[in-house]
Structure 1
Amino acid sequence: LESAHAAGVKVIGSSHQFDGTPSREEIIGRLRKMQAMGADISKIAVMPQNETDVIRLLEATAIMHKKYAEKPIAAISMAKLGVVSRITGEIFGSALTFGTVKKESAPGQIDSAMLCRMMQDI
């Protein structure tokens, strides 16, 4: 981080969990840890097992954004279940989302042109 910042490079701290969605407290804790380590953006991506997991991620995002975020955060729930988090994340405090130009690099990524249209409609 120090070398990147010294060179004027912004750093995205990232945590991926492909086997489930941790507790609300764990999500917030990971984002706060990345922020404390000096990340310019703290990002978490998790794999939902059900709709409740997606809601938990969005709730944690809103709490982190309102109470603890000193810099931008990004939170994404992957796969088909998590698509709603990619489209509406900004409402909950997520500063960015990901779309694909060709082949998806993570489960649930949406074509970037389609994602742009959906976000404009919201």
Structure 2
Amino acid sequence: MNTTKIVVTLSGHNDDEIKEEIQKAKENIDAFDIVEIRGDVFDALNREDHGKKVRYIIDSFKPLKKEIIYTYRTAKEGGSGSKTTVEYEALLNAVCQTMDIDYIDIEVQSGDKIIESVSKTARDNNVKCLMSHHDFKRTPSSEEILSIINKMHTLGGDLYKVAYFPHEMKDVDKVTGAVKSAKQKYGDRIIGISMGELGKDTRTAEGEAASAFTYGFVSRDAAPGQIHVTHLREIFTR
């Protein structure tokens, strides 16, 4: 039986886009398990207005029993976030303390001190740490990927997400191989994505190559190769 949870990524920038995504998500409420809020799309807002947007989305889905991931994806990892490391740490800590979320995405390249700080705040507020690493230009070797996952484990992550851009099928195989090896060591904590059209099959992998989470969309894709959540649900319930 497949145990992959389907995450719908919400990445609307303004009120109209947010309301549209929420409405479409509610129309397809059975197609996903978790809502990912991309906080980096609110980068132009002050902290108060940022918080209002995030809380509005949370309040739209928590009564419907959906889990929430808060993600602030920095520019160096493919997002639109431009905060300094100090601002990044402060934001993630504040979100853990003040928002009703289930998971906080922490970029493993943000630095051990930041990870330690945010992880402690997360644990103190019953929030799980989703350690992540993205590279939109290349795919490291399977050994490098496993080394990164091992670091995520050492740093106390609850889930370990790696996502890389492939240039050939060999790159997709590197991710798949690393996922299989990491699952043997750490169990169902691994999320492995090969981006773009070439790597789409990693988003629907089952069995020993299956990820803990797979990410989809309802209105606009937030990453290369994302699949609509209704299609993901169809695949996983065949």
Structure 1 pair 73/104, CA: closer, same or farther in 2 (3 Å)? same
Q: Secondary structure at the match of 1:58?
A: helix
**1:70-109 alignment, distance < 5 Å:** 72-88=189-205, 90-109=207-226
Q: Does 1:118 pair with 2:235?
A: yes
Relative to the length of structure 2, the TM-score reads 0.48
| Cα-to-partner distance string for 1:42-82 (whole Å, 9 max, x where unaligned) | 1000001111111111011101111x216611111110001
Answer with 90-99 or 29-38: which moved more.
Answer: 90-99
* Separation of aligned partners in 2, 1:97 and 1:33: 22
CA contact (8 A) 1:89 1:97 kept: no
TM-score by length of 1: 0.92
Amino acid at match of 1:50: E
Q: Give the paired residue count.
A: 120
| Whole-angstrom distance in 2 between the partners of 1:73 and 1:118 | 20
| 1:1-122 → structure 2 map (5 Å cutoff) | 1-66=119-184, 68-69=185-186, 72-88=189-205, 90-121=207-238
For structure 2, list consecutive stretches of 5 or more residues without a partner in the other structure: 1-118
Note the residue ranges of structure 1 that are not aligned, 5 or more in a row. none
Deviation per CA, 1:16-65: give whole Å up to 9, x if none: 01111100001111111111101110100000111111111101110111
Change (3 A) 1:36 1:70: farther
| Deviations, residues 93-120 of structure 1 (Å, cap 9, x unaligned) | 4211111111111100000001111222
Percent sequence identity over matched residues? 33
User: Which whole-Å CA distance do the structure 2 matches of 1:120 and 1:96 have between them?
Assistant: 15
CA root-mean-square deviation = 1.4
| Closer/same/farther in 2, CA of residues 43 and 89 from structure 1, 3 Å limit | farther
Q: Which amino acid aligns with 2:128?
A: K
Measure, in 2, the Cα distance between the counterparts of 1:80 and 1:70.
Answer: 27
The residue type equivalent to 1:109 in the other structure is Q
